[in-house]
């Protein structure tokens, strides 16, 4: 073997070894390269828009907040009691100032991500009152459990955010919990994160902690976190959510304006009519963000489920949810604003086939609908009542697979790959060809969590099913976790802030509305 062959072979072997090593590097934000699924034509988009504007003008939206009502009066809206009637011209004028795209700035600048247009990010689930832990036991979560999920989020390449309260830490008082949740998001990952909006004062604490981490001046024109404000369908925004919205929008931080839709329960039992109501609710909140601060980033949001008419329970993975995602995507693009949806949702009680089918159905619809802020992308099960550690791992890999699909076909090595065909010729195989050896790990996605071996090999290796494989992988990741270094002075300042606020806020089992 001559020196040139040795060098080339050694280089190829080194590249193969590098590709087979664990890779925790975050995928860049997704830039979609596949067509969108658009189920409405232009006239149908106009029908939804017109119906929504009629709702805003003639039915009105209830803003249960004195400050918001005064703001709307000053903005020129018709206000009667708590009902705000929004002229369509005013709504269009306000939402026109929402940025169509913006960049989230992470603690590690290499993990900044673009949002809006063709740009999307995957964000883990949040808000679970229970978890299924590393032993697949369903129980109440703790701060340590929350830290575990933040560490996993940091290490899973397809997750672009550490979110916030992935699980509720029951070992800390509700009134002070937001401080520790925010610190955990900041400390255990250097990706972007979400901020708690459980009360206006809590939201203000989050923004102050962001100012400590990134700098007061920096956050004035750099989005670093995300607030979520849920509406009470039908057609109500309450004092808690509106106060939190003001805390974020005043400081130029993005807010998800999210009607909480249970199709057939708090909306009409009709897909188009549900979308018309949801659209009106979202537009009313999006418009209010611009009353608060013109040009502040805001995201058209929703939590979307249909309701079982047999039990009243929310369902996941139904055809109507997919159709509504396609339609909402079209409406958000019609108004040229970024939009959020929910991903990999499951109603199953364990990580079983039902959970897989529901999640896969939702994931495919979400990708083809063109969603930007793809929330609840890992762990969601039992209608959000628990975060499954096993499902968290597999969902994240599913997102990585969906990411690859949504990028579209890669043409970079088309000519080189074609050149292999005459070299192999009829009846040959490509397994040993240099092009295959150089590209086999990047040409086709090879899942770690799915077992594609023969039944004989699977049995010989212990017959391990996917839940056990995923939990084993989670333990491996946690054993290899390395905390991203947080500046010592900033860390001390954050801890000092938390300590001061915990002295000021009574340790009560209620939301912090006052302190």
Alpha-carbon distance 351 to 358, whole Å? 11
Alpha-carbon distance 325 to 337, whole Å? 15
Q: Would you say residue 5 has pLDDT above 60? A: no
pLDDT tens, 136-169? 999 999 999 999 999 999 999 999 999 999 999 9
The H or E element that residue 304 is part of is: strand 303-307
With bands split at pLDDT 50, 70 and 90, how would you rate the model's confidence at 114?
very high
Alpha-carbon distance 303 to 127, whole Å? 13
Residue 495's Cα: distance from chain center in Å?
Answer: 27
pLDDT tens, 182-194? 999 999 999 999 9
Of 98, 94, 96, the residue nearest 77 (C-alpha): 94
How distant, in Å, are the alpha carbons of 12, 19, 154, 156 from that of 22? 18, 8, 14, 11
The pLDDT of residue 11: 57
- How much is the mean pLDDT over the chain? 94
The H or E element that residue 63 is part of is: strand 61-64
Q: Cβ neighbours of residue 338 under 8 Å, at least 6 residues apart? A: 100, 101, 102, 115, 116, 117, 297, 299, 300, 332, 372, 373
What tokens does 237 get? Answer: 């925004």
Sole residue written with tokens 């979609």 = 32
- The half-sphere exposure of 379 on its side-chain side, counting CA atoms within 13 A, is 38
The three-state DSSP-derived secondary structure of 214-259 is HCHHHHHCCCCEEEEEEEECCCEEEHHHHHHHHHHHHCCCCEEEEE
The domain spans of the chain are 95-407
- The half-sphere exposure of 389 on its side-chain side, counting CA atoms within 13 A, is 29
At residue 227, what are phi and psi to the nearest 5 degrees?
Answer: -100, 150
Task: Tell me if 87 sits within 8 A of 57, measured CB to CB.
Answer: yes
Q: Cβ neighbours of residue 87 under 8 Å, at least 6 residues apart? A: 56, 57, 76, 77, 78
The pLDDT of residue 328: 98
Task: Tell me if 298 sits within 8 A of 10, measured CB to CB.
Answer: no
The H or E element that residue 260 is part of is: strand 255-263
Q: Can you tell me whether residue 103 is helix, strand or coil?
A: strand
pLDDT tens, 412-444? 999 999 999 999 999 999 999 999 888 887 889
The pLDDT of residue 43: 98
Q: Can you tell me whether residue 334 is helix, strand or coil?
A: helix
Alpha-carbon distance 228 to 421, whole Å? 53
Of 178, 168, 179, 124, the residue nearest 146 (C-alpha): 168
With bands split at pLDDT 50, 70 and 90, how would you rate the model's confidence at 7?
very low
pLDDT tens, 55-105? 999 999 999 999 999 999 999 999 999 999 999 999 999 999 999 999 999
CATH superfamily, domain at 95-407: Trimethylamine methyltransferase-like (3.20.20.480)
What tokens does 251 get? Answer: 């400081």
Residue 89's Cα: distance from chain center in Å?
Answer: 32
What tokens does 121 get? Answer: 């990010």
Alpha-carbon distance 380 to 124, whole Å? 8
């Amino acid at each position: 073997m001559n020196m040139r062959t040795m060098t080339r072979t050694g280089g190829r072997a080194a590249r193969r070894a590098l590709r087979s090593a664990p890779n925790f590097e975050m995928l860049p934000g997704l830039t979609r390269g596949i067509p969108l699924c658009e189920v409405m034509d232009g006239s149908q988009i106009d029908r939804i828009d017109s119906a929504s504007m009629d709702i805003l003008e003639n039915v009105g939206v209830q803003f249960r907040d004195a400050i918001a009502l005064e703001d709307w009066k000053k903005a020129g809206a018709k206000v009667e009691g708590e009902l705000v009637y929004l002229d369509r011209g005013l709504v269009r004028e306000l939402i026109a100032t929402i940025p169509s795209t913006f960049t989230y700035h992470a603690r590690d600048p290499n993990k900044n991500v673009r949002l809006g247009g063709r740009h999307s990010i995957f964000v883990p689930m949040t808000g679970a009152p229970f978890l299924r832990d590393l032993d697949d036991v369903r129980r109440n979560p703790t701060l340590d459990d929350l830290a575990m999920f933040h560490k996993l989020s940091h290490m899973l390449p397809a997750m672009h955010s550490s979110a916030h309260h992935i699980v509720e830490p029951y070992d800390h008082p509700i009134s002070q919990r937001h401080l520790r949740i925010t610190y955990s998001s900041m400390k255990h990952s250097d990706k972007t994160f979400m901020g708690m909006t459980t009360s206006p004062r809590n939201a203000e604490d989050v923004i102050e902690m962001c100012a400590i981490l990134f700098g007061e001046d920096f956050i004035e024109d750099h989005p670093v976190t995300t607030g979520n404000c849920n509406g009470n369908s039908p057609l109500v925004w309450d004092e808690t959510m509106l106060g939190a919205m003001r805390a974020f929008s005043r400081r130029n931080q993005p807010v998800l304006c999210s009607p909480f839709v249970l199709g057939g329960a708090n909306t009409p039992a009709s897909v188009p009519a549900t979308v018309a109501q949801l659209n009106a609710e979202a537009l009313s909140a999006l418009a209010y963000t611009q009353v608060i601060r013109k040009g502040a980033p805001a995201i058209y949001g929703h939590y979307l489920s249909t309701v079982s008419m047999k039990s009243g329970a929310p369902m996941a993975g139904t055809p109507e949810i997919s159709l509504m995602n396609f339609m909402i995507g079209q409406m958000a693009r019609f108004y040229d604003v970024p939009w959020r949806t929910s991903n990999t949702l499951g109603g199953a009680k364990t990580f079983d086939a039902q959970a897989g089918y529901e999640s896969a159905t939702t994931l495919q619809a979400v990708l083809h609908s063109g969603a930007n802020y793809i929330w609840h992308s890992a762990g969601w099960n039992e209608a959000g009542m628990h975060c499954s550690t096993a499902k968290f791992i597999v969902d994240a890999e599913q997102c990585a697979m969906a990411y690859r699909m949504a990028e579209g076909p890669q043409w970079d090595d088309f000519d080189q790959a074609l050149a292999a065909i005459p070299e192999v010729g009829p009846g040959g195989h490509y397994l040993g060809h240099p092009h295959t050896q150089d590209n086999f790990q990047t040409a086709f996605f090879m899942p770690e969590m799915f077992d594609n071996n023969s039944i004989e090999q699977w049995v010989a290796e212990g017959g391990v099913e996917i839940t056990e494989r995923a939990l084993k992988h989670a333990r491996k990741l946690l054993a290899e976790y390395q905390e991203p270094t947080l500046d010592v002075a900033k860390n001390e300042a954050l801890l000092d802030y938390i300590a001061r606020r915990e002295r000021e806020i009574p340790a009560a089992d209620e939301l912090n509305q006052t302190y």
